[in-house]
Structure 1
Amino acid sequence: MITCYIKYEIEPAKLNEFEEYARMWIPLVEKFGGTHHGYYLPHESPSDLAVCLFSFSSLADYEVYRAKSMEDADCQKAFRFAEETACIRRYDRHFLRPVT
């Protein structure tokens, strides 16, 4: 299993827009065979920090998801929403493996 950890730098004034964006992606990751562990929004932390965690059975399965997301209409809608609302300043993607 591989878990993708995404650290977002978000626009604090557009937290509601980012939350809407996040709600779009949860079912999309699952649509392509992933397990979504959720988005985590600022609380007692910097106001421009959000994170997301989701897993696939392998890095190869994640790569299939990435390729399919580039062709999927709902994924493209989510990408456009983030771009149009400018709710994300930047993000960093990391891949982690669990200790079992």
Structure 2
Amino acid sequence: MNITCFIRYQIDPFQRAEFQRYAEVWAEVIPRCGGALIGYFLPLEGTNDIAWGLIGFESLAAYERYRTTLRADPQGRANFEWAQRQRFILREERTWLEDVASTRRVTLSPS
């Protein structure tokens, strides 16, 4: 089973650049700790205070190993602490999704 942790962030729209910096640090930390970073996404049009992060794992057991490794990672801890000090994340929600493998990375055929 492959799973995706779908993280919905409510951010301070006036601190968009800080959230981008936060996401860029995770691009280094998450893979090093065992997660498959699908990506972080900032608002572009419409709602200006919702951002997303998606991280893939082979299983819930793999996620638990990742969490243990992440807690011990100095750069990861520093990123969490910086975000708390700066207060650009107002709310964070996690949803766990099971991948429908046949729909992943489907691209349009040239016509």
Shorter-chain TM-score range: over 0.9
Matched, 1:64 2:65: yes
TM-score, with structure 2 as normaliser:
0.85
Q: What corresponds to 1:75 in structure 2?
A: 76
Give, in whole Å, the separation in 1 of the partners of 2:64 and 2:95. Answer: 14
Unaligned runs of 5+ in 1: none
Q: What corresponds to 2:96 in structure 1?
A: 95
Corresponding residue SS for 2:69: helix
Q: Deviations over 1:57-78 (max 9, x none)?
A: 1111111111221121111111
Give, in whole Å, the separation in 1 of the partners of 2:89 and 2:51. Answer: 10
Q: What corresponds to 1:25 in structure 2?
A: 26
The code of the aligned residue for 1:83 comes to Q
User: How far apart are residue 96 of structure 1 and its match?
Assistant: 0.5
Structure number with greater CO (CA < 8 Å, separation at least 6) is 1
Matched, 1:16 2:17: yes
User: How far apart are residue 29 of structure 1 and its match?
Assistant: 1.1
Moved over 2 A (4+): none
TM-score, with structure 1 as normaliser:
0.94
User: What is the RMSD of the two structures over their aligned residues, measured on CA atoms?
Assistant: 0.9
**Higher-Rg member (1/2):** 2
